[in-house]
Amino acid sequence: MKKIGIGLVGCGVISDIYFQNIAKSDVMEVIACADLIQDKAKLQAEKYNISKSCTVEEILKDDNIELVLNLTNPGSHADVMIAALNAGKHVYSEKPLAVELEDGKRILDVANKKGLKVGCAPDTFLGGRLQTIRKILDDGWIGRPVAATAFMACHGHEIWHPGPEFFYKTGAGPLFDMGPYYITALVTLLGSVNRVAGYAKISFPQRTITSEPLKGEIIDVEVPTHVAGTLEFDSGLIANVMTSFDIWDSHLPNLEIYGSEGTLSIVDEDPLGGPNIFGGDVLLRHKDQSDWNGYPDAIPRNPATEWNSIPVIYEYNSNSRGVGLEDMCNSIIENRNHRASGDIAYHVLEILHGFYISSNEGKYYKVESKCERPELFELD
Ligand SMILES: NC(=O)c1ccc[n+]([C@@H]2O[C@H](COP(=O)([O-])OP(=O)(O)OC[C@H]3O[C@@H](n4cnc5c(N)ncnc54)[C@H](O)[C@@H]3O)[C@@H](O)[C@H]2O)c1
């Protein structure tokens, strides 16, 4: 079978899982890898048996490379993607699509002009858990969705990432770093968003790194680290969203969808769980099992009517980062649309900006872009 030749740019922390998962695929292979720091590219090439480590310019000139995989820091996403598109390559990027909305638009415009594809992480919505939730929703198990909540509460990445400074600079913070997982999950499950109301603040202007090798160094925080707000979807559904690097612990669920006939819930023990991971439990409670039936006589709860754990019926339940890239490579071969698309990533980017614009201006932000819900994966 034909394999799509990939040039991987950005050989940092996240590149490992991409090298590993691409090596398992029948439809894609890494031809060359590059990094601003050439030693990093060389090390990853040796570790993963890639024959060529080189500069980004050499990747762009390589005719065997059909697609550039962009794993650089957010501030470099737009430049790397636009250069790759101008060199005639399809692009797939880690999230967010870009830092500035105008750059996101430019990426889509250049791709359209050149007849090339743009794909973007997160692809966790293609994981077993969120695909199962999508099927449950589409099959009407909780009736008509009426509301949702999405909460990402943790105390930041300086406890584990070897170079965590960028998480507190423009293009990151909890909203741009973790928000894409939550907002992409909501949009791919529930459709486009119409308007956003947001609040954003910095609770701790400096953070101390506790991970190695930079332990003890201080980071000056440049972006909000606690962002809360509300999304109104085109369907009229309302979702409460919070992303925070300022919270030590909480009992909040990661994601819940409330329907006319019941509730779907994701509650992970890992504070970096939720729509950020591929697998995990799906909990469902139908209205017939609700504590509200016969209230107050039904208190305390009848254990027979606790939440149902729904078996996950789709693949990709472990760290499958790159499944969106593989679907895109298949879509190039099969000449069809891919699921983790630039349109979704742009809509999500506009929503992220909407939180800040609303917070700064003290009024709703009206979202201009729209996107289609991607096709569910087919069940075997
Ligand atoms: N680390 C994670 O767990 C994780 C998880 C999901 C997504 N991501 C996303 O992946 C991306 C990278 O994150 P990371 O944790 O691997 O960061 P990292 O800092 O470890 O690695 C990024 C690499 O990109 C290189 N780079 C930056 N600009 C470049 C340019 N213009 N040309 C070539 N190389 C360039 C840097 O030198 C660095 O080696 C970010 O967008 C992040 O949001 C990271």
Residue 155: CATH number of its domain: 3.30.360.10
Residues 154 and 254 occupy one common structural domain: yes
- Measuring from atom 19 of ligand 1, which residue has the nearest CA? 12
Joined together, the tokens standing for residue 346 give 């742009």
User: What is the distance in A from the centroid of ligand 1 to the CA of 14?
Assistant: 7
Query: Which pTM value belongs to this model?
Result: 0.96
Which residues approach ligand 1 with their CB closer than 6 A? 9-14, 34-37, 40, 56, 71-74, 76, 80, 94-95, 163, 177
Residues 153 and 295 occupy one common structural domain: yes
Round to whole Å and give the CA distance between 107 and 180.
Answer: 18
Average pLDDT over residues 359-366: 98
Tell me the per-residue pLDDT of 294-340, one tens digit each, with 9 for 90 and over: 777 766 666 666 899 999 999 999 999 999 999 999 999 999 999 99
User: What is the distance in A from the centroid of ligand 1 to the CA of 162?
Assistant: 11
Average pLDDT over residues 72-100: 98
Picking from 94, 120, 146, the residue at the C-terminal end of a domain is: 120
Model pLDDT, residue 300: 61
Round to whole Å and give the CA distance between 157 and 363.
Answer: 31
Model pLDDT, residue 305: 66
Tell me the per-residue pLDDT of 129-141, one tens digit each, with 9 for 90 and over: 999 999 999 999 9
Residues 171 and 263 occupy one common structural domain: yes
On whether residue 374 sits in a domain, the answer given is: no
User: What is the distance in A from the centroid of ligand 1 to the CA of 357?
Assistant: 26
Tell me the per-residue pLDDT of 17-56, one tens digit each, with 9 for 90 and over: 999 999 999 999 999 999 999 999 999 999 999 999 999 9
Residues 274 and 146 occupy one common structural domain: yes
Joined together, the tokens standing for residue 266 give 């994701």
Residues 96 and 222 occupy one common structural domain: no
Picking from 60, 93, 120, the residue at the C-terminal end of a domain is: 120
CATH of the domain at 41: 3.40.50.720
On whether residue 42 sits in a domain, the answer given is: yes
Round to whole Å and give the CA distance between 331 and 325.
Answer: 10
- Measuring from atom 21 of ligand 1, which residue has the nearest CA? 12
Which amino acid is located at 35 in the chain? D
On whether residue 139 sits in a domain, the answer given is: yes
8 Å CB contact between 77 and 98: yes
Number of domains in the chain: 2
Average pLDDT over residues 208-234: 97
pLDDT band at 98 (very low <50, low <70, confident <90, very high): very high
The residues, ordered by sequence, that sit 6+ positions from 21 with a Cβ below 8 Å of its Cβ are 319, 320, 321, 322, 323, 326
Does the structure show a pLDDT above 90 at 125? Answer: yes
Domain that includes residue 77, residue range? 4-120
Joined together, the tokens standing for residue 298 give 């039904």
Round to whole Å and give the CA distance between 304 and 40.
Answer: 55
- Measuring from atom 27 of ligand 1, which residue has the nearest CA? 72
Does the structure show a pLDDT above 80 at 75? Answer: yes
Average pLDDT over residues 243-250: 97
Tell me the per-residue pLDDT of 270-298, one tens digit each, with 9 for 90 and over: 888 999 999 999 999 999 888 787 777 76
Q: Give, as one character, the DSSP assignment of residue 311.
A: P
Residues 13 and 104 occupy one common structural domain: yes
Average pLDDT over residues 163-190: 97
Does the structure show a pLDDT above 80 at 260? Answer: yes
Of the candidates 139, 90, 125, the one whose C-alpha atom is nearest the C-alpha of residue 111 is 90
Does the structure show a pLDDT above 70 at 113? Answer: yes
Q: How many CA atoms lie within 13 A of 122 on its CB side?
A: 25
